[in-house]
Amino acid sequence: MEAIPDYTHSVVEELKALAAAGTLQADRAQFAVGAKLDRVLADLRDARPAKKKSALGWLFAKGSGKPKPIQGLYVHGSVGRGKTMLMEMFFRKAPADRKRRAHFHEFMADVHGRVHEHRMKVKNGEVRDPDPIPAVAASIYAEAELLCFDEFSVTDITDAMILARLFTELFSLGCVLIATSNVAPENLYKDGLNRGLFLPFIDLLRRHVEVTTLDSDTDYRMQKLANLPVYVTPLGPQADATMEAAWHQVTDGARAGPAEVPRKGRSIHVPSAAGRIARFSFADLCERPLGAADYLAIAERFDSIFLERVPQLGPEKRNETKRFINLVDTLYDNAIRLYISAASPPEHLLTAKRGTEGFEFDRTVSRLFEMRSADYAALHHSRHGEASVTLP
């Protein structure tokens, strides 16, 4: 009997095994990036014995006063080429005791929360140092010596201003960074306000990570998503099973969990999220007092939305109908990919066309049909790129 390859510690060996099994198409570009990730894995493994020897072992590893910093990796390239899949393989194998994988925007939201908490402690006299960055970096490093970011991108000026100082502290502590992005480091925060103040971060990043490109000839994401059902009807166990299967295909089984979307001093609860993909029920989004601005906040945070169990919309559900109209309008205007399960086809959801809602719902029906088209899928893809899903 032929031995099964041991790919527990190697991204490349796992890629080879999957290709041999026919689960994955062999791709030289992915193998090349996998080899670079294996280099980081080897460096992390080499560092562990010195760290375990004693509390001072890490400081005096390999006979020097300071250990050689572990160089991370920054992988950029076109959408759908498998960056997130490779990250998932790497993260599972990474031998760090403390490691964290997060969507970059989620990480920065956490950072801002820690900064706010520190400033409140200063205000209340609990701490003296008014500068929150060293304390925030120390608290992050205490939780994760290895940081893995999906979809590294900088669009917010507040994030841009804080990154250089934050990562100067993190790298000095010994933090290792792995990141995937659709853009090269030099194009981060391109044309952003006061970008000159952001440039030191790019220099810092290049000193601490190896920058590499993943440019496969095949867009696996479009291949994989092309035939997925995006509107499932009628409701019932079969529809639930179809939506569950679609969810696992879009996320490729990536870890999902609850999330929050900040919104003017409060937050919108997301029952399940994986990167930039979110899953809601009709009740979550249309039976709660949410408005167009809330739906816009969701559209800015997520690229793909699963909306389940949309019921027939009768006169007794007038408020819910208005919210559903606003939701579809917002998702459509922002080219969000919508996967939906509903009681009936779009043209039969509204049981009685009365007044303004009746005319507005005609637009909703038209948009729901258009959002199922190949043209809309292509528009979504061109505007949003890779929606932080694990794909080959």
Virtual CA dihedral for 133, 136, 139, 144, nearest 10 degrees? Answer: -90
- 64: which DSSP letter? S
Domain ranges of the chain: 11-213, 221-384
Taking each helix axis as running N to C, give the angle between helix 28-53 and helix 83-93, from 0 to 180 degrees, rounded to the nearest 10: 30
Sheet holding 209-213, edge to edge: 99-103, 146-150, 176-181, 72-76, 209-213
> How confident is the model at residue 191, as a pLDDT?
81
> How confident is the model at residue 34, as a pLDDT?
94
Type of residue at 153? S
**Strand, coil or helix: 258:** strand
CATH 3.40.1190.10 describes domain 11-213:
no
Sheet holding 257-263, edge to edge: 231-232, 337-342, 304-310, 277-281, 266-274, 257-263
In Å, what is the CA distance from 132 to each residue of 79, 116, 175? 36, 8, 18
**Residues 210, 233: Cα–Cα separation, whole Å:** 48
> How confident is the model at residue 4, as a pLDDT?
38
Going by pLDDT thresholds of 50, 70 and 90, the confidence category of residue 79 is: low
Q: Which CATH number fits domain 221-384: 3.30.420, 3.30.1490, 3.30.1540, 3.40.50?
A: 3.40.50
Mean model confidence pLDDT for the chain: 84
> How confident is the model at residue 352, as a pLDDT?
84
Q: Identify the residue whose tokens are 């932080």.
A: 388
Which of the pair, 281 or 333, is modelled with greater confidence? 281
Going by pLDDT thresholds of 50, 70 and 90, the confidence category of residue 289 is: very high
Per-residue pLDDT of 359-382, as tens digits, reads 789 889 989 988 887 777 777 776
Per-residue pLDDT of 307-343, as tens digits, reads 999 999 999 999 999 999 999 999 998 889 999 999 9
Strand boundaries in 138-265, DSSP class E: 146-150, 176-181, 209-213, 231-232, 257-263
**Residues 11, 90: Cα–Cα separation, whole Å:** 6
Mean pLDDT over 333-357 rounds to 88
Model's pTM, two decimal places? Answer: 0.59
- Fold: same for 11-213 and 221-384: yes
pLDDT at 80 over 80: no
pLDDT at 58 over 70: no
pLDDT at 226 over 70: no
Type of residue at 88? E
> How confident is the model at residue 106, as a pLDDT?
80
> CB burial class (10 A; 0-12, 13-18, 19+) of residue 369?
middle
Going by pLDDT thresholds of 50, 70 and 90, the confidence category of residue 84 is: confident
Q: How do strand 99-103 and strand 146-150 relate by DSSP bridges?
A: parallel
Percent of the chain with pLDDT over 70: 85
Per-residue pLDDT of 1-43, as tens digits, reads 333 334 567 999 988 888 888 777 778 889 999 999 999 999 9
